[in-house]
């Protein structure tokens, strides 16, 4: 290297350092995404906006033989709350090969798949259930 190159090297280092971007203060990491936020990102919809229901709680109505039933699925808690003519019953989620199964140690079980389900209340035979569309029956 020549004497001029040695003299210009520190100046070149200063010029290059001035060209680097200033990252500024460390940016905070974004909060972890929720299933609703993931769905919103995939569809381009705001998770809190219209058209995006709260996915952690889902309510539905069912007809099980002669018995009417409402079900409140709380996916965050992993439970279903069944409201029927004898009162209210909360069942924890249980393992199932398919569908969503909720059962307790007393022989109560609600096992649904699609718009059909089976309801077994302690001491009674299993009943086939059909989901009732909103605004009917």
User: Residue 78: inside a domain, yes or no?
Assistant: yes
- Provide the mean pLDDT of the chain: 73
User: Residue 108: inside a domain, yes or no?
Assistant: yes
Any idea which residue has 């609703």 for tokens? 36
* Structure confidence at residue 46 (pLDDT): 39
Work out the percent of the chain whose per-residue pLDDT is above 70: 58
User: Residue 107: inside a domain, yes or no?
Assistant: yes
Range of the domain at 77: 57-132
User: Residue 39: inside a domain, yes or no?
Assistant: no
Higher pLDDT, 132 or 137: 132
- How far apart CA 49 and CA 118 sit, in angstroms, is 34
Q: Which residues of 93-110 are buried (b: 16+ CB within 10 A; e: fewer)?
A: beeeeeebbbbeeeebbb
User: Residue 127: inside a domain, yes or no?
Assistant: yes
User: Residue 71: inside a domain, yes or no?
Assistant: yes
Domain count within the chain: 1
CATH number of 70's domain: 2.40.128.200
User: Residue 115: inside a domain, yes or no?
Assistant: yes
- pLDDT, tens only, 24-78: 444 444 444 433 444 334 334 333 433 445 578 999 999 999 999 999 999 999 9
Running DSSP on this structure, what letter comes out for residue 39?
Answer: H
pTM higher than the cut 0.75? no
- Using pLDDT thresholds of 50, 70 and 90, give the confidence band for residue 93: very high
* Structure confidence at residue 86 (pLDDT): 82
User: Residue 29: inside a domain, yes or no?
Assistant: no
């Amino acid at each position: 290297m020549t004497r001029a190159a040695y003299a210009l090297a520190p100046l070149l280092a200063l010029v290059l350092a001035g060209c680097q971007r200033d990252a500024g203060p460390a940016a905070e990491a974004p909060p972890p995404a929720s299933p609703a936020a993931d769905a919103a990102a995939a569809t381009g919809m705001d998770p809190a906006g219209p058209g995006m229901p709260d996915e952690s709680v889902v309510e539905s109505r069912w007809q099980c033989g002669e018995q009417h039933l409402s079900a409140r699925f709380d996916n965050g808690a992993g439970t279903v709350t069944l409201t029927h003519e004898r009162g209210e019953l909360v069942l924890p989620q249980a393992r199932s090969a398919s569908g969503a199964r909720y059962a307790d140690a007393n022989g109560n079980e609600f096992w649904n798949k699609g718009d059909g389900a089976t309801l077994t209340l302690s001491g009674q035979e299993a009943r086939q259930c059909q989901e009732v569309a909103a605004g009917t029956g």
